[in-house]
Structures are given as structure tokens and as C-alpha cells.
Amino acid sequence: MLRVDGLTVAFGSHTVLNDLSFGLSKGESLGIVGESGSGKSIAALSLMGLLPPTASIVAGTSALSIEGSKSVNLFDIKPKEHRMVRGKHMAMIFQEPMTSLNPSMRCGKQVMEAITLHQKVKANAAYEKCLSLFAEMQLPDPKTVINKYPHQLSGGQKQRVMIAMALAGNPSILIADEPTTALDVTIQQEILGLLKQITQQRGMGLIFISHDLGVISQISQNLLVLKNGVLVEKGATKTLLTHPEHPYTQGLIACRPPLDSRPIRLQTVRDFVSHDGSTADVVKTMDHGQWEEKSRSIYSQDPILSVEDVDVDYVIRRNFWGQTTEFHRAVNSISFNLYPSETLGLVGESGCGKTTLGRALVNLVRHTHGVINYKGKRVDAMSKRELQAFRREVQIVFQDPFSSINPRLTIGECLVEPLLVHGLANNASQAKRMTMALFDQVSLPSDSFYRYPHEFSGGQRQRVVIARALALSPKVIVCDEIVSALDVSIQAQILNLLNSLKRELDLTYIFISHDLSVVKYMSHRMLVMQQGMLVEYGNADQVYKSPQSEYTKRLIGAIPTISF
């Protein structure tokens, strides 16, 4: 169906993809894996004719079969011709559906527009085909979804609408670019199952791009591994993942948190590729006795934070006099204790109330009922001075660092500001020295002080917001989904950083995530939330090995693992 030879792409004089060659057969699922910046998405955008204006195809040919024996070179056609190929013969599912869908158009209209363009049918027929596609995507009540705007759907539903739009022109090849990266493990499993089903039923070729080898192993038959724009390894997925030859592939496999052990430090890709191709040293793990002894010392103390029957309501509708007539209970009667030096995991799907609870704990969201005590003092009864001290000692790191840093300020200004506001630095020069020490603590380059947020990679931005949380010398940090959108290799680096900071500074964490494997690795105890309620609560290892609720069993079953 498709043959690519010697594809080379450059941004000016900088080559980002070098001499890539591969083929795709009918019904085949081809995986492309690598870290951010490895050239995965650039390869897909080259095929689709959607490269940014600053990029150019320096060399390479491609042959896409479009009508029997007829083929077209995608790298040597005009934009108008490419528009005829795009959607009708080859379609793409983008990584972030919220930014790919038009927020001002209803979902049905966006899909019907693609159907009308590629299938040349009238409005009534396009409407029926849209309903049929939404039903095929297993969207609940297609007639309702067709009239909704993107913001009215969940992340998994938006991704299904994106897939429906990609299939609107009946393409022979589907490119899926990181379609499950920021989704819950259960929704991710559903989307992977859906992609496998539709490609088999329609006899399509699938190019699936991801940084997660656990996900890739579940959907692809053959695999390409890219590093810094260069193809370092290729072959059958099963062979390549069970017997990887290149150190980079070995590193990608090794940096996922293991489920059957608790290493003191996670391996990273750098461990494998920084010693002239030699593999990393044997990983040191904490044995069960050491873990139990540490846990006993933690739980022999008084709790630093206690939560009793806490509810958080969001007002949906008020009457004329401002009284609440309808509300949504996002957190429902949650109780637990947090002990000094503990890492408490909080896991559940999107919409279960994890983030709302985290924000209520740091007093960013007011709880409706119940009591939150910090060091024996009710948070909602604190004086202004007590609340200021509480905010210094209890910090939060938000999920998306790019949206939680002021884009108009340099990183130095972002970190200097809280030091001066809280009086921890006497003047700007002292604040700068303290900021430079923070950069060193989170392994950021010294020139970060004068750079803006957009000049950093995703992993570096995450280090910036961790540094900002550390600036006020906190006792407790709420980590809200801080590794969910990162590559597995960068994720391992951030988790290692959090653990080393915890040991050095004697920190206490509440670690929120939808990824149960990450939560199990990081946590002493684990809370499992569903629809605002606590469905399971206990030792992290015990919850994983012997889950009591069906919901927890489903979360564990959806963890992507490399298995054949």
C-alpha cells in the first residue's frame, strides 16, 4: 500500500529526520516508537503534506497505491493534489483532540463536512453516515453526540469523534499519532481495541505512533524505533521487544515502573546509551523487609494532614436569589490520614474527583462539608497569617506546566516572585541566588533564569514547576498527574527526581495519577476513587496484588504491559 525510501526532513540547516525507509502492507499495523523529538510525528506529517512552513523534505520518495496499480509520490505532488489524497486515501488521528476539533462547531457538523467533501453526498445522506460512524465508534447515543460541542464530551469521546472524522473519507491507510497518550488506562484500552477492530473490519493499513512500548505491543505487528531522527532498529514487534539489540530500545523497555518489584531508582534511556552502547548496571531494589520497616516508622507518627467526610460540590444552577438549586458532587464523603514522609497515591479515571480533592486539600477549592486538618488545625478556620503559612508548607504541582506558568515571565522571574512575596529573600539578588540553587536541585541548566516557558521541553517545564513548588521549602506537595503526558523515559527521570528530593528534603507527597503502575511504584498506600467516592484504600502492594473492588481489578487489567 505504501513504500517510503530515504525520507530526510530538515528545519533550515537542522536535519530532524534522516534517511527513513519503510513499507506498509494491506491490513498491516506498523508501530513507530521513540521519545519526543525523535521524528515520529514529522514522518507522519510528511506523508500527509502537513509539515510546518519552516520544514522541508530534503530527499526521499514514496509510493502510495491509490487505485489498483496506480501510485503517487506523496513528496512530489502539489498541495491541491495532496488535498485530494488526504482524507480519501490516507487519514490521520492527531494526538490532542481538543486542539484538533473546531471548538465553535458541533461534532456532527465537523464529521459531516468531511463526509460531504470526500464522498460527494447530500446533507441527509451525510447525516445518516455520520450517525453510522458514531455508532461504529461506540459513542453513547449518537443522535445526542452529533449535536454536542467538543467541550461537552469526555477525552475518550472526543478521541472517538476524531477517529470518526478520519474514517469519513473511507481511507485505505490510517495514521494514529499518540492517540492515547493523555487518556486513562481504561479509556486507552477501549481506544486500542476500537482501532484494532476497525482496521481489521475495513482491511486498512495502520501506522501507530507512540512513545510507550507497552501500548505498541498491543496493537502493532511490525515496529520501527527512531532516535534523534534516525532509524536504529526495526523488525517484528514480538521479536524486537523480547530480544532488543539496540541499547536505546533496551532503555525504552526498561524505564517503565515494574509491577513486580520496587527499584530504588528507575532506569532511564540515558543509562543504556551513555556508555558507548553498554547496558545499564543491575538495578538495586528495595526488599519487602526494608519497605515494611520504613512503613512502620512512618505510621508510628501523628498524621500531618487528616481528612474527615469531605464533600466538594460544584454549583450547576442557582435561582433568582442566588440559592443553589442544582449541584454536582465531585467528591463524596472522603476520609483518610496523611503521615509525615509518606507518599500517598490517589488513582482513578478522569472525572472521578482526584484533582478536585487535591485542590480542596490545598484550599484552592472550598469543601462543602467535612473537615480538613493540617497539623491539628482546621484549614477552613485558619486566620490570614495561618493560611499564608499553610500555603508555604503545602504546595501543589499542576498537571500541565505550560498552562500553570505565566508565559510573559522568564523562569527566573516566576521563581523569584514567591520568594519575595513570602519574605524568604531580603532582596532580588538573594532571591536570584536561591533560584539558581533550585535549578541545580532539579537538574535544570543555569541559563534557565533568563529563558521563557516556551523555550523548554515538556520534561524541563515539569522540572520548573517542581522547582517553583520547592521554592517555599514545603512539607507537603500534591503532585497532580505530573507525568501523565510525558515520554516514558522523561517520566522515569521525573519520578527519580521526586524520590531523591523526598529523601533529601524529607517531603510528604500526595501523588495523583490515572496510571496505577506509576502510583504503585511511588506510593506506600493507595486510594482508589470512582465517581467521587473511595472504593479501595490500603497498602499499595496489597491493593495491587489482591484488589477487592471490581473497579480496581479493571484498572489493573488495563495497565499496558509488554506481553505476547
Q: Which of 239-243, 259-263, 445-449 has the lowest mean pLDDT?
A: 259-263
Run of H or E including 4: strand 2-11
pLDDT band at 68 (very low <50, low <70, confident <90, very high): low
Residue 282 has pLDDT above 60, yes or no: no
Q: CA 174 to CA 87: how far, in whole Å?
A: 9
Across the range 353-366, mean pLDDT stands at: 93
Contact in structure between 271 and 338 (CB atoms under 8 Å): no
Mean pLDDT along residues 60-67: 89
pLDDT of residue 342: 95
**400 secondary structure, DSSP code:** -
pLDDT of residue 154: 77
Dihedral (CA of 435, 438, 440, 444) sign = negative
The pLDDT of residue 505: 93
* C-alpha to C-alpha distance for 351 and 519, rounded to whole angstroms: 18
Q: Which residues contact 68 (CB under 8 A, 6 or more apart)?
A: none
Could you read off the pLDDT of 80-129 as tens digits, one per residue?
Answer: 889 889 888 999 998 777 778 999 999 999 999 999 988 888 899 999 99
Pure H helices in 310-406: 354-361, 384-393
pLDDT at 240 over 60: yes
Which of 301-305, 413-417, 419-423, 554-558 has the least mean pLDDT? 554-558
* 69 or 474, higher pLDDT: 474
CB neighbourhood size of 302 (10 A): 10
User: What percentage of residues in the chain have a pLDDT greater than 70?
Assistant: 98
Strands (DSSP E) found in 211-283: 222-227, 230-236
Q: What is the band of 202 on the pLDDT scale with cuts at 50, 70, 90?
A: confident
Q: What is the pLDDT of residues 283-337, one digit of tens each?
A: 677 777 778 888 889 999 999 999 999 999 988 889 889 888 898 899 999 999 9
Domain boundaries, the chain: 27-49+79-254, 288-557
- Sorting pLDDT into bands at 50, 70 and 90, what band is 278? very low
Query: At residue 275, does pLDDT exceed 60?
Result: no
Pinpoint the alpha helices (H) of 342-487: 354-361, 384-393, 411-421, 428-441, 458-470
Any idea what the Cα angle at residue 182 is, between residues 176 and 188, rounded to 5°? 65
> Which residues are registered as beta bridge partners of 331?
312
Per the prediction, the chain carries an average pLDDT of 89
Topology (CATH level 3) of domain 288-557:
Rossmann fold (3.40.50)
Q: What is the pLDDT of residue 84?
A: 86
Is the CB of residue 360 less than 8 Å from the CB of residue 312? yes
pLDDT of 281 higher than 70: no
> What was the pLDDT predicted at 547?
93
Q: Residue 277's pLDDT band (boundaries 50, 70, 90)?
A: very low
Q: How far is 332 from 367, CA to CA, in rounded Å? A: 10
Whether residue 458 is predicted with pLDDT greater than 80 in this model: the reply is no
Highest mean pLDDT among 38-52, 89-103, 168-182, 186-200: 38-52
Cα→Cα distances 431→340, 347, 394, 412, Å: 28, 36, 20, 9
Contact 527, 497 (CB under 8 A): no
Identical fold at 27-49+79-254 and 288-557?
yes
Query: pLDDT higher for 223 or 561?
Result: 223
Strand partners, 347: 513, 528
Under CATH, which architecture does the 27-49+79-254 domain have? Answer: 3-Layer(aba) Sandwich (3.40)
Q: What is the DSSP letter of 391?
A: H
Task: Work out the average pLDDT over 324-351.
Answer: 92
Question: Is the model's pLDDT at 544 over the cut of 70?
Answer: yes
d(CA 540, CA 418): 35
**Pick from 468, 504, 500, 498: nearest CA to 482:** 498
How sure is the predictor about 175, in pLDDT bands with cuts at 50, 70 and 90? Answer: very high
Is the pLDDT assigned to residue 279 strictly greater than 80?
no
DSSP label of 401 = T
